[in-house]
Amino acid sequence: MPELLHTRAVGLVGRGGAAAALEGLLRAERLVTVAGPGGVGKSALAAEVVRRMRREPWSAKGTADLATLDIPGLVPHALARALRIDGDPAVPQLPALAAAIGRRPVLLVVDTCERQAAECAATLLHLVQACPELRVLATSRVPLDTPVTFPLPPLTPGGAARLLRTAARALGAPEDPDPEPVRRVCAALGGLPLALRIAAGQLKHHDADDLLSLIGRPEHLLDLPAPMPGLPHRLRTLRASLRWSQRLCPPGERLLWARASVFTGPFTLSDTVTVCADDRLPADELARAFEGLAAHSLFTPEPSSPGAFRMTAATRAYGRHLLERLGEDAEFRRRCLAHCLRNAASSPP
């Protein structure tokens, strides 16, 4: 049987509760999608759940990684290949795949569904309805149109600090970093595991205060390499991960991502309409784009301010790169500054 996920869950830190919850959900629901931003650890979490369930008497099990699947209509073929079920890729084979699985106990992982999200959702729903012993664990940067989604947020501050320290030791850091710089690094990186592991790789040669300076330089932060061999190209740097997310966004979302990068702190939908809307991005289209970027977890809720969102340092840095390429950087920084000054003038003393 083929391996269930190329990503190993070695050193999975801060996700014990999530793994237990996801395992229980998959046993109850049979089709569960782990959704969250790039680099949040969806594949690693899925690998851990599979490890916990691997000794059960599965008739077949396998993983389909859809990252390179560019041609619509081939999702059933990719799933059949993962389960080593023969079929002709030139013809639709969903009914044949469902018949081949039948009533057998099968565990299927479908990784990186976001590029073929609609087809994945339709295919997987059909299969679990037709095959009563099939269990499917999917991962996607965008929620699939299926009944059960397991949203995977970034790590809590405590979990992020544990991951940074654990990864730093594993990567050869000479000493345990001080708590306060660690807290500030974790806050700046938004608790994103990929970003934290990239930062941990720098602690072999820099202390935590120097690391804060490194990640404070946006362009440098985006291109620091991930110190984990075997990662797919889309996860080897934060720039590569965010470029992958950008390709999933329609034009209005890309434009709003670029323009909203001028906000250095939390912002609301109303703020973005005031600062970012114009004839090219009208308010109604902007609102749809805002909702889409939140669904992609590129805008993340600000816990201390209901209705407000923010971007991680890396997401904002990539947005500034997009804005500069558009030639709109000076204009929208000016508009943001004017908006902030108006808000300050109208606030009670």
Say if 67 falls within a structural domain.
yes
Confidence (pTM): 0.88
Contacts (Cβ under 8 Å, ≥6 apart) of 242: 38, 222, 314, 315, 318
**Tokens for 333?**
């920084």
3-class state of residue 110 by DSSP: strand
User: Could you tell me which residues are beta bridge partners of residue 164?
Assistant: none
* Residue 250 pLDDT: 95
**Tokens for 15?**
């996700």
* Co-location of 230 and 253 in the same domain: no
Say if 10 falls within a structural domain.
no
Strands in the chain per DSSP E:
31-35, 60-65, 106-111, 134-140, 149-151, 300-301, 309-310
Q: How many domains does the chain have?
A: 3
* Co-location of 232 and 268 in the same domain: no
| Strands 300-301 vs 309-310: parallel, antiparallel or unpaired | antiparallel
**Tokens for 39?**
């680099």
3-class state of residue 67 by DSSP: coil
User: Could you tell me which residues are beta bridge partners of residue 150?
Assistant: 34
CA distances from 228 to 36, 147, 233, 275 (A): 20, 34, 11, 39
Give buried/exposed letters for 271-285 (b at 16+ CB in 10 A, else e): bbbbbbbeeebeeeb
Range of the domain at 301: 249-346
* Co-location of 295 and 327 in the same domain: yes
The answer to whether the beta carbons of residues 22 and 16 sit under 8 Å apart is no
* Residue 9 pLDDT: 42
The angle that helices 283-295 and 269-276 make with each other, rounded to 10 degrees, is 130
The domain boundary, picked from 151, 173, 193, lies at 151
Instruction: Give me the sign of the Cα torsion angle 100, 103, 104, 110.
Output: positive
Q: How many residues does the chain have?
A: 349
* Co-location of 20 and 145 in the same domain: yes
* Co-location of 189 and 81 in the same domain: no
pLDDT, block means (10 residues), the chain with 349 residues: 45 88 97 94 92 91 91 91 74 82 96 94 97 97 94 93 92 84 89 92 86 80 84 89 94 98 96 97 98 92 90 92 96 96 79
* Co-location of 141 and 163 in the same domain: no
